[in-house]
Structure 1
């Protein structure tokens, strides 16, 4: 049998399974048992789980959070290859990942599935088996795998999320990317009424907004909410007599203040953050970046804050968060060794101008 054809056939199978293939699929593609052992021994292939393999690829160029996502995706396909087809559905955060939604802060050390065959739940060989009744409307097929629907996966993962903030990130993304209706989420919340963690799920869905355009913006909304700051108006456009001026992430009309989340610098500083299961999206830090844009049609001055990732430490106390008075006056700490650009949140005591 032609070796090129064998490799091409297995590559086609693996390409539909995030690079994962089973021992049975390798044998069916023409590889012998000795060849499989040899490829594993010389490092061409690696073992994902028992009887499930993938080509050993260098992922050093990928961002840490992308590597975490890729590794979990491979684990999901390996698990689905190992279990009887139709007996389980990928669920919770594993389903969110297959649907292409952010999984920031969610626990990814295990693959999450829901049993459809009436089997028992629990943790088995790194797989969390959940019990629950799923209707046809609550199931979908993604990458050839049976998964729970987006509304179901959002509520499931919110119930098991470690915090309200983590649940809001997923809810915002689902509302934005899949245009979920309030009725669809309300039906899922009604079914999850007595689930552990359902209180967090209800609060996150109520707080969710399809106008948050990134993980950072969702987390910023929660940060403002947690510290009693005024609720901003998201995605506001400004115009003058000449037309469109710009669009801002958040606007506080009562204080003539706008907030911007800067996600590009988060990528630039990614090497300072170790890869871990909780995705390395650091706490934001505030730097006063430009003031002095006057909209001639509105006739007032807009103070602009650009949020950048923290490169020193994360805020630990309320004193590290700008106060309501600081927001209302547009005054935040603007410099100094302890509170300069790229540092953590600081108080509004310092009046130094950039």
Structure 2
């Protein structure tokens, strides 16, 4: 802004006031149309890309901002401020646009993503495990493990290297619970809720073998009770990697045929589904399982 002519600055302020542009960081704007087309994660990435060149070379994008840059899912949405780590700071600092964390960084802790320095997936996983709630941590850890971007032993070593962290035990608990077999954030959260309500531990991504022509795989398999639990998120019916060239009508038909084939398998005694609202209200998931004969201890 300071390099603009007064007339240009006044015109920009007029557009911002009229809703034509949106500020993403002091002195950086995007058009309203561009902003509305972005997903919440991409909006946070845009904020990070705008902020990082103005924050100084020693600062590294970290925590939730690093997770966004690494394309991790965000269970509770993305923070309004950009998170960075400043190795030169003694205490954390929060301003209107940036949260600065005070931590040392090993050279191996820093990657370059989209042209900006960002904590590695391993360091990001450790930072989030030490700062987020259990469910949010599990969602990110599951995703990073599934994409083979981290190893449990490496994340554990970073967590144990911070013995004075108050949330160290909780972080190690979340790491021990994490699994590369969860195929979506919804499945990760379902695992957390299942554990909270005392459901039997299910087998993840179980595949039913038949004559070879169709071997369906299911999200959760309670082998002792012969019950299949499927999580139905929007991704299963809308994302290209799940849908491919099929029409919505064909997707619905194929999913029904798949369910019929699973129900017909001799090992299957029950088939139930859950959705996001069931995970937000654990009593509903407990009822879904009870209807199929799967007991919960809590």
- TM-score per shorter chain, which class? 0.7 to 0.9
Output the TM-score relative to the length of structure 2: 0.80
Q: Deviations over 1:293-331 (max 9, x none)?
A: 232xxx3334111212339x952xx75442698277269
Is residue 71 of structure 1 aligned with residue 43 of structure 2?
Answer: yes
Residue pair 2:220, 2:229 contacting (<8 A) in 1 also:
yes
Structure 1: where are the runs of 5+ without partners? Answer: 1-22, 269-288, 332-354
Q: 1:326 to 1:215 in 2, by over 3 A?
A: same
Residue 153 of structure 1 aligns to a residue whose secondary structure is helix
Q: Decide which of 108, 111, 118 is 1:147's aligned counterpart.
A: 118
Q: Return the alpha-carbon distance in structure 1 between the equivalents of residues 10 and 104 of structure 2.
A: 41
Which residues in structure 2 correspond to 1:24-43 (within 5 Å)? Answer: 32=5, 34-43=7-16
Greater Cα offset, 125-134 or 183-192? 183-192
Residue aligning to 2:192: 222
Q: Return the alpha-carbon distance in structure 2 between the equivalents of residues 56 and 323 of structure 1.
A: 44
Larger Rg: 1
Structure 2: where are the runs of 5+ without partners? Answer: 239-258
Output the TM-score relative to the length of structure 1: 0.68
Residue pair 1:91, 1:153 contacting (<8 A) in 2 also:
yes
Residue aligning to 1:326: 290
Residue 100 of structure 2 aligns to a residue whose secondary structure is strand
Q: Decide which of 82, 90, 97 is 2:54's aligned counterpart.
A: 82
Which residues in structure 2 correspond to 1:298-313 (within 5 Å)? Answer: 299-310=266-277
Which residues in structure 2 correspond to 1:140-179 (within 5 Å)? Answer: 140-161=111-132, 163-179=133-149
Which has a greater percent of helix? 2
Residue pair 2:59, 2:86 contacting (<8 A) in 1 also:
yes
Query: Shift in Å at residue 106 of structure 1?
Result: 5.8
Which residues in structure 2 correspond to 1:278-289 (within 5 Å)? Answer: none
Which has a greater percent of strand? 1
RMSD: 3.1
Q: Deviations over 1:40-98 (max 9, x none)?
A: 42344332232222233255566xxx2x32332222122213212x2210111110100
Residue pair 1:266, 1:309 contacting (<8 A) in 2 also:
no
- After TM superposition, the runs of 4+ consecutive aligned structure 1 residues lying more than 4 A away are 58-62, 265-268, 289-292, 318-321
